[in-house]
């Protein structure tokens, strides 16, 4: 019975993890929740945020932030935006897992090795990324010499398909 309980817990955890998917592109439904949000600070200045879940890579979070900034720029009748300030925060928490199998002399977990009896379990890090940027929106051609300036139409053309793909249902479960 002692072997069955950890093995059952591991099977349930693996089944649940296989269903987890990255945060889809869309608005946050709660304050501080996953997805995008924005606040208008001045007539042409906005603070844009995108928060991902534990399986959303940093690059995806940052791309979705830029996409939302581009959409907001076009929505306000502008053509390009300048990133005045940007940062990506990583929140790390640790999850304590029970070992996968108990043997006569110790335990074994698939990625974490083995341990002697009496020292059961292992800790694994869980990352969540949250990107924020203050942007200024403008009309006209994008300044060629400003590396912090983005053409809003070009950004939506290039990053829009990533957002559309994130909304598709996952196959296989």
Query: Is there a domain that residue 171 lies in?
Result: no
CA distances (Å), 58 to each of 10, 20, 134, 159, in order? Answer: 27, 16, 18, 15
pLDDT over 50 (residue 26): yes
Q: Using pLDDT thresholds of 50, 70 and 90, give the confidence band for residue 6.
A: low
Predicted TM-score of the model (pTM): 0.73
| Residues linked to residue 137 through DSSP beta bridges, in sequence order | 81
Total number of residues shown for the chain: 173
172 belongs to a structural domain: no
Q: Which residues span the domain enclosing 137?
A: 4-166
Percentage of residues in the chain having pLDDT higher than 70: 69
Q: What is the pLDDT of residue 34?
A: 96
Note whether residue 48 is domain-resident.
yes
d(CA 61, CA 131): 6
pLDDT at 169: 77
173 lies in some domain: no
Q: How many domains does the chain have?
A: 1
Instruction: Identify the pLDDT of residue 20.
Output: 76
Q: Is the pLDDT of residue 105 over 50?
A: yes
Q: What is the pLDDT of residues 135-172, one digit of tens each?
A: 999 999 999 999 999 999 999 999 999 999 988 876 55
CA-atom Rg of the chain in angstroms: 22
């Amino acid at each position: 019975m002692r072997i069955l309980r950890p093995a059952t817990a591991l099977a349930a955890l693996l089944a649940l993890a296989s269903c987890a998917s990255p945060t889809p592109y869309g608005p946050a439904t709660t304050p501080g929740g996953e997805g995008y949000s924005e606040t208008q600070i001045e007539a042409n200045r906005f603070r844009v945020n995108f928060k991902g879940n534990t399986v959303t890579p940093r690059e995806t979070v940052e791309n979705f932030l830029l996409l939302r900034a581009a959409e907001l720029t076009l929505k306000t009748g502008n053509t390009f935006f300048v990133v005045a300030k940007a940062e990506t925060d990583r929140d790390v928490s640790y999850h304590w897992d029970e070992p996968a199998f108990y043997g006569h002399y110790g335990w074994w977990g698939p990625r974490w090795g083995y341990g002697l009896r009496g020292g059961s379990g292992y800790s694994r890090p869980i990352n969540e990324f949250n990107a924020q940027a203050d942007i200024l929106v403008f009309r006209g051609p994008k300044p060629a010499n400003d590396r912090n300036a983005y053409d809003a139409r070009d950004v939506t053309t290039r990053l829009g398909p990533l957002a559309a793909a994130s909304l598709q249902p996952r196959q296989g479960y």
